Amino acid sequence: MASAEIELPMFPLGIVLFPTQLLPLHVFEPRYRQMTRDLLAGDGRFGVVLIERGNEVGGGDTRSDFGCVAQLVQAQQASDGRFALMAIGVERLRVTGWLPDEPYPRALVQIVEDTESALSPDDLETRYRASMAMLRRVLALAAEVGQPAPASTIEFSEDPRTGSLQLCAAVPLGPFDRQRLLAASGADERLDLLDGYLTDARSDYEARIAMGPPAEPDG
């Protein structure tokens, strides 16, 4: 389900942001400094979307039409005018139209809510906890092979809808796979996709561990 259109400042990035996920930002470009000042003077909400192709600096990039609303929670300005920001993802969005990039990127967006689960609350919770256990196993294996990933002891919400978003934020995947998870219709589809990624990742990590460390070169 989607809401009425609203206008938001937009920050295209090379990452995918999920609701509940923290987002540190280092702002140095003049237009984003202006955007930060406007955010501090307003409600502090902006959109984050993935740059699918190209480089955002200087424009000419191709941007995803599905992203996340972020809420600015902290801002520190350096003496040279740069900003160190901390924001948090709060809800998903769909871009319905891009506006001119001056003075900075802006878009018309709709807030996107999850579809209702086809499972009973008890079945959804059982499904969610199974995915959580699989993710913890994958994170432990990732650590064993030296893959950067959150600690397997990371805490997740008791609520399956919120928690399924947190699981997606924690799984060690590339941006395009994470984008697919973000755009899933609801918790059911998120967990289906997540379980497929986790099954593949677990098999890969277990195979790498079974092979042992690479042999040292002679000499």
Alpha-carbon span 142 to 40, nearest angstrom: 39
Cα–chain-centroid distance for residue 111?
16
Closest CA to 142 of 83, 199, 206, 200: 206
Distances (CA, A) of 34 to 24, 38, 102, 138, 219: 18, 6, 11, 41, 57
d(CA 180, CA 196): 12
Q: Are 171 and 25 in contact (CB under 8 A)?
A: no
Q: How far apart are the first and last CA of the chain?
A: 63
Digit-coded pLDDT (tens) for 129-175: 999 999 999 999 999 999 888 899 999 999 999 999 999 999 999 99
Residue 211 pLDDT grade (very low, low, confident, very high; cuts 50, 70, 90): confident
- Report d(CA 184, CA 112) in Å as an integer: 11
pTM to 2 decimals? 0.90
Q: Position of tokens 């959109």?
A: 47
Residues 48 and 67 sit within 8 Å (Cβ to Cβ)? yes
Using 50, 70 and 90 to split pLDDT, how confident is the model at 190? Answer: very high
Q: DSSP state, 113?
A: P
49-92 pLDDT per residue, tens: 999 876 554 456 789 999 999 999 999 999 999 999 999 999 99
Burial class, 8, CB count within 10 angstroms (exposed 0-12 / middle 13-18 / buried 19+): buried
What pLDDT shows up at residue 52? 87
**E-assigned strand segments in 28-133:** 45-53, 62-77, 83-98, 106-112
Query: Is the omega angle on the peptide bond into residue 214 within 30 degrees of 0, that is, cis?
Result: no
Better-scored residue on pLDDT, 218 or 130: 130
Q: Which residue has the tokens 């984008």?
A: 179
pLDDT for res 217: 65
What pLDDT is attached to residue 218?
Answer: 62
172, 146 Cβ separation under 8 angstroms:
no
